[in-house]
Every structure is written in C-alpha cells, then in structure tokens.
C-alpha cells in the first residue's frame, strides 16, 4: 500500500493518481507544475499532507489550493535546476 510519494514532473496526467486511495502524503515540491487541478486529487480521501513548489505555480494557483486543501497544503520554495 502506497502511503507517501513525491512526484517530479512538469505536467500531471489525470490518470496518474487514480486508485491511490490510501495515499496520505503527496509531494510536488521538486516539480515544475504550473497548475494543479484540485479535481485530480478528489479520489485521495486519506490525504493528510500535500506539498507543492510555490515558485513554479501560476498566478492565483496558491489561493485556489489554499481554499481547496485547508490545513493540509504546504508551500515550499525550491529552485529547480536542470
């Protein structure tokens, strides 16, 4: 059972997270995600911690994620170097 994962990506496929109902921690802090659609995470009913790289988010995304994931969202500032 996968309970914690950190994903490094630039785009998130809708199907990537399907079936991960037991996931408690999800991290995108090392990713270059510009947008994270909260609907993609709707099936993650056990999610207790979600972290994203705030340096990469498009304008307005931080506010959307704070509203959709109160109490579990963490914004981390990482500079991604290739």
Q: What is the pLDDT of residue 8?
A: 86
Q: Quick check: 56 and 32 in contact, CB under 8 A?
A: yes
Q: What is the pTM of this model?
A: 0.84
Distance CA 4, CA 62 (A): 22
What CATH number does residue 47 fall under?
Answer: 3.80.10.10
- The confidence score (pLDDT) of residue 53 equals 92
What is the pairing mode between strands 25-28 and 4-6?
Answer: parallel
What confidence score (pLDDT) does residue 18 get? 82
Instruction: Tally the domains of the chain.
Output: 1
pLDDT of amino acid 23: 92
Domain carrying residue 24: 4-76
Residue 81 located in a structural domain: no
The per-residue pLDDT for range 13-70, each reduced to its tens digit, is 777 888 888 999 999 888 888 888 888 888 888 999 999 999 999 999 999 999 999 9
Examine residue 39 and state whether it is found in any structural domain, yes or no: yes
- Identify whether 82 is part of a domain: no
Strand intervals (E) in 1-82: 4-6, 25-28, 49-53, 73-76
């Amino acid at each position: 059972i996968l309970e914690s994962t950190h994903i490094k990506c630039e785009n998130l496929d809708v199907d990537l997270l399907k079936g991960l109902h037991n996931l408690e921690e999800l991290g995108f802090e090392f990713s270059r995600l510009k947008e994270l659609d909260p609907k993609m995470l709707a099936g993650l009913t056990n999610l207790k911690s979600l972290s994203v790289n705030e340096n990469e988010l498009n304008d307005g995304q931080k506010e959307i994620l704070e509203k959709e994931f109160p109490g579990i969202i963490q914004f981390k500032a990482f500079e991604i170097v290739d």
